[in-house]
Amino acid sequence: MTKARFYISDKVQEVGYRPLIMEKILNSDLEGTAKNLPDGRVEVLLEGEKEKIEAFFEEIKKEKPEHAENPTFSKLTFDETLFVPKAMRSSQALMLGQLGKGVDVLITVGDDIKGMGNDIKNMGGDIKNMDEAIRDMSADIRKLPERIAEAIRK
């Protein structure tokens, strides 16, 4: 599994690009989302097998909404650090009338959140250790002016 991003620019907002892309994502094996950016572009985030992402990208370049004029596509870039939000997929599925897919995503997101509870509980010990380390550093910092003055005297 890999993650990728591309942008579509020119007259691409308010012409149906996001719904077109989301419908294609929802009907594929990919995870992903499309969103309008303040600068007028549409950003597309995808997660899945590299070959399927590349095929999706090539397919979407050949198809455009009726009112889109001359869309320009950025280079498809792969980046494992991208965050591809599943919750957006749910809301967009519901928007497109694909209730079943939207509910499935919500259930998955709910399970992810439940699993995070254990992670958060485990972080308690780490936070306690950090708190102790910060107290130790604070004591050292309070002694610093005294040490500097002593060093200057020497």
Catalytic residue annotation: 18, 36
Coil, helix or strand at residue 102: helix
CA 96, CA 10: separation in Å to the nearest integer? Answer: 24
Nearest to 34 by CA among 70, 83, 82, 88: 88
Instruction: Kindly report the backbone phi and psi dihedral angles of residue 77, in degrees, each rounded to the nearest multiple of 5, phi listed first.
Output: -115, 135
